[in-house]
Amino acid sequence: MMSRKPRRRADKKSTELISYLPLYKAALEGQWKEARTFIDENPEAFTTKITIASETALHIAVGTGKDIIPFVEKMVRKMSPEELALTDQNGDTVLFVAAMVGNLDAAKLLVNKNPNLPNTSSKSDLPIHRAAQYGHKPMVQYLLQVTRSDIEPIPFSGESGVKLLINVIIAEFYVSFGKFKRATKLMHRQSVELAKLLRMEIMELDDAKAHSLLQPPLHLAANLGVCEIIEDIVEAFPPAIWSSNEENHNVFQLAVTHSRENVFNLIFQMSEYRHLVTRYIDSQGNNILHLAGRLPSSDRLNLVSGAALQMQRELQWFKAVEQVAHHALKTAKNIDGKNPAVVFTESHQNLVKEGEKWLKDTATSCTVAAALIATVVFAAAITIPGGNDQNDGTPLFFKPQQHVEKAFAVFGVFDAVSLFSSVASILMFLSILTSRYSEADFHFALPNLLTIGLTMLFVSITSMMIAFSSALYLVFGQGKPWRLFLVVGLAMLPVSLFIILQLPLLKEMAYATYGRGIFRKKSSRRFH
């Protein structure tokens, strides 16, 4: 019997890749029986690079996903720790593949066999960088546990740390250093390690190096609205607040440009320096008010429903920036000779027209509904259920001796409430239809009318259904209480539909119009 050949790393140039196609397919499909047969005949197959990209069978299996973990487990068990560190043509170990596809089970198997894999680099990257870059939060959390910070390369310091910081910002799972008491143990370590990057190593850098190191994550955080990053960077290196990009935009101008209100709110936590940080002028002569006058991207604009509420939000943005900007900036002109108010008007012309159309369509539809309700409840008020007494003209169901006297009173009261509220809603919607639709009207007047109109319409619908249920009980439900429950249950259906369909819009309008607003000081923590 022929003795088994010792394992050796096959030279790619002398390997016929086509001959390893059965192993490739077995790794891709997780067929361990077929793979084992092939490996028994070709012991070197464990370490042979079987693809044009110099991947091993384990690279292929791990990249397939978690569905074939039993296959991966059997391969890892038969391979040595050194063999698990083999790389493809990009210099990536199998752990890099697991990090990129988010195969957490495979990553645990690999690290348990070879604890050095998390610190094995590829082109200055570590597996944790790839996991963050590809947005796999559980993988990042796991790699934070197993990646050592006491050996080179250290992922939490220098340019490597900044790269990790940028990746976790993009992936949107950064946890502020000030919040790690409430965070998980894993994210606590993330906060501590990144805090070391910002608070310890920066002390050893000169200002120019610190600025160049921190500017990319700082401005990226402003673009994406990650205010925790900005707070931590400025706390670690206060001069970073003055850094600007190639267009001379600082963090607050970037926040205004990208409509990131949580970042802009940091300005309310500043000292008197806020008057200086808002006076930057960009290469086009635009100040922060000019930037606030521009129309934001559609993804930020569509955070609120309807063109009218979008216009309201835009006006709130402009006024919030106007509140903190120096008065001289309100009349300053850019290189096109336009002041901020002109930029705002020109940028929002189409939105004003869309808001006008949206409000008119909404008001018209609601007016029709309110008018129908008013007609029905008025007719019900003069057509008394059960008729009148032929002798004295009093309603038959209102006789003191009748046990349904209370039901009749309920009918009368809620019929009147429905009539009055429907008429009030009609007046509100008519006021909307006859409005002049200037820019300023979208800030409070028009949303206020629409909010009141929808509220009155809801009251009228609810009252009408209560009155209707009372009338049915008066006519058909005497002595049979179960009929009352049936009628009330059915009457709740249209009321429930109105709540489900219109309450989110009504709630959003009420908060935007009467609430505290989104522009205010959110924390007592001093920001520069």
Which of these three, 134, 154, 188, is where a domain ends? 134
Q: What is the per-residue pLDDT for 212?
A: 81
Q: What is the per-residue pLDDT for 186?
A: 42
Q: Name the nearest CA neighbour of 230 among 188, 276, 277.
A: 277
Residues 89-139 have pLDDT tens digits of 999 999 999 999 999 999 999 999 999 999 999 888 899 999 988 889 889
Whether 176 shows a pLDDT value over 60: the answer reads: no
**Does a structural domain hold residue 439?**
yes
Q: Considering the chain, what percentage of its residues have pLDDT values greater than 70? A: 84
Segment 159-176 mean pLDDT: 69
Q: Name the nearest CA neighbour of 319 among 129, 453, 519.
A: 519
Q: Considering the chain, what percentage of its residues have pLDDT values greater than 90? A: 55
**Does a structural domain hold residue 294?**
no
Q: Name the nearest CA neighbour of 411 among 487, 480, 497.
A: 487
Q: What is the per-residue pLDDT for 46?
A: 84
Residues 312-359 have pLDDT tens digits of 999 999 999 999 999 999 999 999 999 999 999 999 999 999 999 999
Q: How much is the mean pLDDT over the chain?
A: 85
Overall domain count for the chain: 2
Which of these three, 114, 134, 154, is where a domain ends? 134
Task: For residue 346, give the H/E element and its range.
Answer: helix 340-347
**Does a structural domain hold residue 522?**
no
**Does a structural domain hold residue 193?**
no
Q: What is the per-residue pLDDT for 153?
A: 67
Q: Could you tell me the two tokens for 420?
A: 């009055």
Segment 148-158 mean pLDDT: 72
Highest mean pLDDT among 120-129, 260-269, 514-523: 260-269
Whether 223 shows a pLDDT value over 70: the answer reads: yes
- Minimum mean pLDDT among 158-167, 415-424, 455-464: which range? 158-167
- Whole-number Å distance between alpha carbons of 469 and 484: 7
Q: What is the per-residue pLDDT for 160?
A: 74
Q: What is the per-residue pLDDT for 351?
A: 97
**Does a structural domain hold residue 228?**
no
Bigger pLDDT: 394 vs 126: 126
Residue with tokens 């106007």: 322
- Minimum mean pLDDT among 69-83, 184-198, 212-226, 252-266: which range? 184-198
Which of these three, 112, 134, 156, is where a domain ends? 134
* Burial class, 67, CB count within 10 angstroms (exposed 0-12 / middle 13-18 / buried 19+): exposed
Whether 189 shows a pLDDT value over 80: the answer reads: no
Can you give the residue range of the structural domain that contains 107? 1-134
pTM of the model: 0.75
Whether 274 shows a pLDDT value over 80: the answer reads: yes
**Does a structural domain hold residue 306?**
no
**Does a structural domain hold residue 256?**
no
**Residue 443 CB partners (closer than 8 Å, separation 6+):** 312, 315, 316, 319
Q: Say whether the peptide bond before residue 153 is cis (omega within 30 degrees of 0).
A: yes
At 122, give phi and psi (nearest 5°).
Answer: -145, 110
Highest mean pLDDT among 84-98, 159-173, 187-201, 457-471: 84-98
- Whole-number Å distance between alpha carbons of 366 and 422: 10
Whether 496 shows a pLDDT value over 70: the answer reads: yes
**Residue 233 CB partners (closer than 8 Å, separation 6+):** 198, 214, 217, 218, 221, 240
**Does a structural domain hold residue 292?**
no
**Residue 30 CB partners (closer than 8 Å, separation 6+):** 61, 64, 67, 68, 70, 71
- Minimum mean pLDDT among 255-259, 387-391, 475-479: which range? 387-391
Segment 129-158 mean pLDDT: 83
- Whole-number Å distance between alpha carbons of 374 and 462: 13
Segment 270-296 mean pLDDT: 94
Segment 13-24 mean pLDDT: 75
Segment 497-513 mean pLDDT: 89
Give the domain CATH number at 65. Answer: 1.25.40.20
pLDDT tier, 203 (very low <50, low <70, confident <90, very high otherwise): low
Segment 10-28 mean pLDDT: 74
